[in-house]
Chains A and B, each alone.
Chain A
Amino acid sequence: QLQLQESGPGLVKPSETLSLSCTVSGYSITTRTFHWGWIRQPPGKGLEYIGGLYYSGSTYYSPSLKSRLSMSLDASENQFSLRLSSVTAADTAVYYCICSTFRSGNGVDVWGQGTTVTVSS
């Protein structure tokens, strides 16, 4: 069974870079048909798709975050990661790593439990 677990600092200073990792268990991250990604949820607000990638290297970044965003895969650690630079308080959110396995159409069928990131000095 595919499971995801986020990790990373819970507190980031304004203007610094937010870095999160997602450890994958139950499947190899090299599974070419799976879409790995990130979704965030600011406190008391709705969901925002940040971006995603395939093992092939194809990436899909939110147009509003693209200039500050990078994502990568690490097959040796069976992880994928997110880096968001020049953060502000508006980046405070619960960050979920996600996977679309396409066993349930194009929906996001696997979610991590989420990790809270606060941007504050």
Chain B
Amino acid sequence: QSELTQPPSVSGAPGQRVTIPCTGSSSNIGAGYDVHWYQQLPGTAPKLLIYDNNNRPSGVPDRFSASKSGTSASLAITGLQAEDEADYYCQSYESSLSGHVVFGGGTRLTVL
């Protein structure tokens, strides 16, 4: 059981906007720890998509954005494309585990 909770799946049609929530608690996101997001395409290693809550690494399209508020965070994808079909993971840190890295359980995005 992950300290960060994500829905197992979300879906959307091409061109639509989807959001993926990441729900934490006062001992992780709510404690002020940064949230990062990763995209894992089928059969590949994860890739950093968003760092430090709402920043995109070089090369990540601006269709991807993220936010953080209170004990939760959210990833938004606009203008959904077929190649966005992947697993998405949020990551933060857990104060009850001495700041250890924790991941959400992951969300499978299906492009209809």
Q: Report the separation of the CA atoms of residues A109 and B49 in the bound assembly, to the nearest whole angstrom.
A: 9
Given A46-B104, A49-B100, A62-B100: A104 in contact with B45 (beta carbons within 8 A): no
**Chain B contacts with A in 69-106, Cβ cutoff 8 A:** 89, 91, 97-98, 100-106
B57 adjacent to A109 (CB under 8 Å) = yes
Is there a chain B Cβ closer than 8 Å to A107's Cβ?
yes
Contacts of B101 in A (CB 8 A): 49
Instruction: Output the nearest chain A residue to B2 by Cβ-Cβ distance.
Output: A46
Query: With A46-B103, A105-B55, A107-B52 as given contacts, are A112 and B45 in contact (CB-CB < 8 Å)?
Result: yes
Bound CA span A46–B104, Å: 8
Tell me which residues across on chain A come within 8 A of B51, comparing CB atoms.
104-107, 109
B contact face: mostly helix, strand, loop, or mixed: strand
A106 engages B52 (CB within 8 Å): yes
The CA-CA distance from A106 to B97 in the complex, in Å, is 18
Q: Is A28 an interface residue (CB 8 A)?
A: no
User: Are B36 and A108 in touch, CB under 8 angstroms?
Assistant: yes
Q: A111-B46, A114-B45 are in contact. Are A106 and B100 (CB under 8 A)?
A: no
Find out whether the CB atom of B103 lies under 8 angstroms from the CB atom of A49.
Answer: yes
A63-B100 in contact (CB<8A): yes
Contacts of A105 in B (CB 8 A): 34, 36, 51-52, 55
Contacts of B103 in A (CB 8 A): 46-49
Q: Kindly list chain B residues whose C-beta atoms are within 8 Å of the C-beta of A104.
A: 48, 51-52, 55, 57
Task: Please name 29 pairs of A and B residues whose Cβ atoms are closer than 8 Å in the assembled complex, sorted by A.
Answer: A46-B103, A47-B38, A47-B103, A47-B106, A48-B103, A49-B100, A49-B101, A60-B100, A62-B100, A63-B98, A63-B100, A96-B46, A104-B52, A105-B34, A105-B36, A106-B34, A106-B36, A106-B51, A106-B52, A107-B38, A107-B50, A107-B52, A108-B36, A108-B38, A108-B48, A109-B57, A111-B45, A113-B44, A114-B45
Interface residues of A (CB under 8 A from B): 46-49, 60, 62-63, 96, 104-109, 111-114
Given A96-B45, A104-B57, A108-B36, output 5 extra A-B contacts at Cβ < 8 Å. A46-B104, A49-B101, A105-B52, A111-B45, A111-B46
Q: Which residues of B contact A (CB under 8 A)?
A: 2, 34, 36, 38, 44-48, 50-52, 55, 57, 89, 91, 97-98, 100-106
